[in-house]
Structure 1
Amino acid sequence: MERDAIYTQRKAERATLRTHFRDKYRLPKNDTDDAQIQLAGGDVELPKELAKMIEEDNEEEEGRSSVIGQLGNIQNIDLDSIKGKAQSTLDDLKQSAEKCSVM
């Protein structure tokens, strides 16, 4: 009986982890996981290793979603060419505004 209780708890822990990632990545829910969590008593406490893995994953996601994290993704950007294109577009707009009879 004790062994069955331990296995039920472990199955519920893994089901909780899978449920977390399904929620995070917006995947369809699995009724089997929900049933395993209910068999273990509903509120399952994850072991330290699994909880740490989820916490690290959440920290990575927060880092990627920040502005600094996004700037890290744009490593090979040529700011000089972007400035040049912006300046030429501005010059073109000024020239077309000078030619406009309304303005």
Structure 2
Amino acid sequence: MKKIIIAASVCALLAVAGPGYTQAVQEGKAAKKEMKAEKKIAKAKEHEMNAKTGKGIEVAGVSDPNTRMAKADRKREKAEKKIMKSDAKELKAVAKNKKKKAAGVD
């Protein structure tokens, strides 16, 4: 009898915690994407500074300042994409939560 009560309480707990857990997972994914974007922005700034100052490894005919700035620009574009993806994850989590509340599932 005790096992049945314990199993029922665990099922009830999981049913209640399920929506909150998925919300937390999506927010965690969004935070992770935002952290990756911040790293990419820092790397882009580093490449940009290296291109401006001529610092770092230079290969004749390959790593002129224009090429290095182009690399920094590509890094910055990728970082901006990561930021948009993290924002999209956050919006998706909020929309999912509102949809559940509207349906009365929550």
TM range (shorter): 0.3 to 0.5
Question: Higher helix proportion, which one?
Answer: 2
Structure number with the bigger relative contact order (C-alpha 8 A, sep ≥ 6) is 2
TM-score of the superposed pair, with normalisation by structure 1: 0.33
